Amino acid sequence: MTIMVGYLLEMKKEKFKLRAFTALVVLWSFIVENVTGIVLYIVPPGRIAHWTNWKLWGFTKEQWAALHTIFGYIFLIFAVIHIYYNWKPIMSYLKQKIKSGLRMRKELAVSLVVTIS
């Protein structure tokens, strides 16, 4: 108990880091998006799920879909905020890569083909 109180007192001294918070929200929402996406991929079709009263961890198919949608919005909003807070490092990285020349031409081509198809 005293360890927890000491930890909470220490937390009060530190300034809240919005940039770190944003990155963590992006991480957690990305993980939830993946879990809900996998569940929605393996769930039975609508009628079967409805007729059999299908549930996983207490959530119906519709509830899993709602979670997936909500966390998708959270991910999108905080990803934009994350890009805003990290704009200078992102631009610096891209400028560095452009200056040094794009050496991964095969990898770039294959990744574009995989992504587009």
Taking residue 40's Cβ as centre, other Cβ atoms within 10 Å add up to 13
* Position 56 in a domain: yes
* Position 6 in a domain: no
Provide the pLDDT for residue 108: 72
The residue ranges of DSSP E strands in the chain, in sequence order, are none
Overall number of domains in the chain: 1
**Which tokens sit at 94?**
């891209």
Radius of gyration of the chain, Cα coordinates, nearest whole angstrom:
21
Q: CA–CA separation, 40 vs 62, rounded Å? A: 9
* Position 61 in a domain: yes
Q: How far is CA 28 from the centre of its chain?
A: 6
* Position 34 in a domain: yes
Reading the chain (117 residues) residue by residue, the pLDDT tens digits are 566 666 666 666 778 888 889 999 999 999 999 999 998 898 887 777 777 777 778 888 888 899 999 999 999 999 999 999 999 998 988 788 777 666 667 777 788 888 898
**Which tokens sit at 42?**
């393996």
* Position 102 in a domain: yes
Q: Which domain holds residue 51?
A: 14-116
